[in-house]
Amino acid sequence: AVPEVTVTYLRAPACAGDTTLVLEEAVDWHPGDEAVIISAMSVEGTGSMEEVVVVETVHNAELHLRTPLRYSYNITENWVAGKNHILKSTVALLSRNIVIQGNLTLERVKHLHSCQEVNAAEGNLKHCLYYKSEKMLGARDLGARVIIQSFPEEPSLVKLKGVQFRDLGQAFSKHSSSLTLVGALR
């Protein structure tokens, strides 16, 4: 079953080293699920902070984590044009019931390790160069295409829920995956 809540917000600030998150809503996530926490505001000169965490247990709106947080996540209030805006960190479930996974080749794993050796984070490999001997640029990268076809007499309706895409990506392409609909669309 697809979880009722896949995205929520922190109800209370969370400090680096904490292993419990207090959420806005109760969640029906499971031990071993992965979630991401994204800060509401970035620190000046940096992007927003985020980290992936693994769920240990869930008790209504309390999420207990397997490992302590690396960063702190605060709740910020700003007054803009006479209105009070409360900015809270987002917590989103990453784990899904259906996983479409690319073929993570040994060549790709070696490339990722060499990039990490030059301090390029796995999520930010744009500064990691390809080997000069690579025959086809981007050959190590993985991609996915989902094709859904309908018959001319039938209406098309596509709804993807509970799907997770892993180890995918295409160098020099705008999107890491694509959804192609064949047939009449309404």
Q: Domains, the chain, ranges and CATH?
A: 7-95 (2.40.30), 99-182 (no CATH)
Given pLDDT bands bounded at 50, 70 and 90, which one contains residue 129?
Answer: low
Phi-psi region of 7 (alpha: psi -120 to 50; beta: other; left: phi over 0): beta
Least confident of 82-91, 100-109, 131-140: 131-140
pLDDT at 120 > cutoff 60: no
Q: How far is CA 6 from CA 39, 57, 92, 166, in A?
A: 17, 16, 6, 18
For residues 61-83, average pLDDT: 91
Supply the pTM of this predicted model: 0.58
Do residues 15 and 72 make contact, with C-beta atoms less than 8 angstroms apart? yes
Given pLDDT bands bounded at 50, 70 and 90, which one contains residue 177?
Answer: low
Location of structure tokens 């960063």: 71
For residues 105-119, average pLDDT: 68
Do residues 57 and 22 make contact, with C-beta atoms less than 8 angstroms apart? no
Measured torsion, CA atoms of residues 36, 128, 170, 96, in degrees rounded to the nearest 10: -20
Given pLDDT bands bounded at 50, 70 and 90, which one contains residue 133?
Answer: very low
Partner residues linked to 182 by β-bridges: 149
Q: Which of 28, 32, 6 is nearest to 163 (CA)?
A: 6
For residues 102-121, average pLDDT: 65
Q: Which of 30, 17, 40, 28 is nearest to 91 (CA)?
A: 40
